[in-house]
């Protein structure tokens, strides 16, 4: 009686030898100290205190260049003198999602050393021929200015308000359902940008809020529980304010919480409560990212 041969598994066959398919692991083990470290920070404070200028100081640090600002407030006069700082203006929530997808693809090409792909993407977004792009930008820092305005865009989308909606048109008011959706969408936005393999600096306004103990304190200008939940995504949350006359500094970035404001940091190397007249270079150095000469500590 003839023997019936069973078909070999579709894992690759050579003669009578079955080759097992090589599958990528579902996850990786990383040594904590060998991981590439990026700054994930949120800076909030009153309008005009210098939050945008502080975030834009990333341009001074080679390891943080190139820098891209996602401009939702259009309040960039304080940094328009910085020639090497690139900006994308967003005026609705959908465009913000498109910018994130661009950055995700950009990081993939950047880390793969795919210069041609970087040139093609940059030429498309600048509206010029690819031959006009010599050395393409390799973004390592993105700043979102500001989360407060981005949340307003989120509500506008949920309420059906667009840039073409006339000012005299009646619009619906946000109700419980819109607030829940806004909460979910904003958390997704912050998480998605935070997870990009680059330095990410979020900027937000401040509000004077009452906490669970009925005390008033400064916190991030976002609705409901977002101001608290978003802080958990960050390695640093800094409250930026002007100093009082007679202090040793003009501006101060508080990174340790108090009864007066929300703040936090996860940097073991930094033992203080605040940074005086900070730049991102001084913050990165004191947080243990740089040596005394400003060289990255890997």
Confidence of residue 161 (pLDDT cuts 50, 70, 90): confident
Question: Each residue of 32-42: pLDDT tens digit?
Answer: 555 567 999 99
Fold of 36-233: Rossmann fold (3.40.50)
**Mean pLDDT of the 158-173 span:** 79
Pairwise CA distance, residues 221 & 207, whole Å: 5
Looking at residue 51, what is its pLDDT?
Answer: 93
> Does residue 72 have a pLDDT over 90?
no
**Mean pLDDT of the 177-189 span:** 92
Tokens of 38: 């990026």
Q: Helices 93-112 and 176-194, interaxial angle, to 10°?
A: 20
Question: Each residue of 6-16: pLDDT tens digit?
Answer: 554 444 445 55
> Does residue 19 have a pLDDT over 50?
yes
> Does residue 150 have a pLDDT over 90?
yes
Task: Choose between 158 and 295: higher pLDDT.
Answer: 158
What's the pTM value of the predicted model, to 2 decimals?
Answer: 0.84
Residue listed under structure tokens 């820092």: 141
| Contacts by 18-23, CB closer than 8 A, 24 or more apart | none
Pairwise CA distance, residues 134 & 137, whole Å: 9
**Mean pLDDT of the 23-29 span:** 77
Range in 11-25, 191-205, 208-222 with the lowest mean pLDDT: 11-25
The 3-class SS string of the chain reads CCCCCCCCCCCCEECCEECCCCCCCCCCCCCHHHCCCCCEEEEEECCCCCHHHHHHHHHHCHHHCCEEEEECCCCCHHHCCCCCCEEEECCCHHHHHHHHHHHHHHHHHHHHCCHHHHHHHHHHHHCCCHHHCCCCCCCCEEEEECHHHHHHHHHHHHCCCCCCCCCCCCCCCCCHHHHHHHHHHHHHHHHHHHCCCCEEEEEEEEEEEECCCCCEEEEECCCCCHHHHHHHHCCEEEEEEECCCCCCCCEEEECCCCCCECCEECCCCCCCCEEECCCHHHHHHHCCCECCCCCECC
Confidence of residue 169 (pLDDT cuts 50, 70, 90): confident
Most confident of 55-59, 107-111, 270-274, 292-296: 107-111
Question: Each residue of 117-145: pLDDT tens digit?
Answer: 999 999 999 999 999 999 999 999 999 98
Question: Each residue of 273-286: pLDDT tens digit?
Answer: 999 999 999 999 99
- Distance, C-alpha 273 to centroid of its chain: 23
Looking at residue 12, what is its pLDDT?
Answer: 47
Looking at residue 177, what is its pLDDT?
Answer: 86
Query: Where in the chain are the domains?
Result: 36-233
* CA-derived radius of gyration, the chain: 24
Pairwise CA distance, residues 220 & 196, whole Å: 22
**Mean pLDDT of the 58-73 span:** 90
Tokens of 110: 């950047």
Tokens of 260: 């007066």
Task: Give bridge partners of residue 265 from the DSSP assignment.
Answer: 236
**Mean pLDDT of the 146-158 span:** 90
Looking at residue 13, what is its pLDDT?
Answer: 45
Task: Choose between 8 and 293: higher pLDDT.
Answer: 293
Task: Choose between 86 and 21: higher pLDDT.
Answer: 86
Asked if residue 154 lies in contact with residue 182, where contact means CB atoms within 8 angstroms, the answer is: yes
Mean pLDDT, rounded, of the chain: 85
């Amino acid at each position: 009686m003839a023997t019936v041969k069973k078909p070999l598994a579709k894992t690759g066959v050579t003669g009578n030898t079955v080759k097992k398919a090589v599958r990528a692991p579902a996850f990786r083990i990383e040594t904590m100290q060998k991981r590439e470290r990026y700054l994930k920070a949120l800076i909030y404070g009153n309008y005009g205190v210098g939050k945008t200028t502080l975030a834009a100081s990333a341009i001074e640090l080679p390891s943080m260049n190139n820098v891209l600002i996602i401009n939702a407030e259009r309040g960039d006069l304080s940094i328009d003198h910085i020639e090497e700082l690139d900006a994308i203006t967003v005026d609705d929530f959908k465009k913000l999602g498109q910018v994130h997808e661009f950055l995700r693809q950009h990081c993939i090409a950047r880390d793969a050393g795919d210069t041609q792909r970087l040139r093609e993407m940059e030429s498309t977004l600048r509206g010029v021929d690819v031959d006009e792009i010599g050395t393409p930008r390799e973004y390592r820092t993105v700043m979102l200015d500001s989360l407060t305005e981005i949340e307003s865009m989120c509500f506008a989308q949920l309420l059906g308000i667009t840039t073409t909606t006339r000012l005299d048109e009646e619009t619906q008011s946000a109700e419980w359902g819109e607030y829940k959706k806004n909460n979910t969408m904003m958390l997704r936005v912050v998480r998605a940008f935070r997870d990009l393999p680059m330095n990410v600096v979020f900027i937000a306004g401040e509000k004077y809020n009452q906490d669970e103990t009925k005390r008033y304190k400064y916190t991030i200008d976002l609705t409901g529980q977002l101001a608290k939940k978003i802080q958990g995504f960050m390695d640093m949350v800094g409250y930026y304010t002007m100093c009082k006359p007679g202090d040793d500094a003009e501006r101060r970035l508080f990174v340790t919480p108090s009864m007066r404001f929300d703040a936090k940091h996860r940097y073991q190397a930094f033992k203080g409560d605040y940074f005086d007249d900070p730049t991102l270079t001084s913050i990165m150095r004191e947080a243990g990212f740089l040596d005394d000469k400003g060289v990255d500590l890997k």
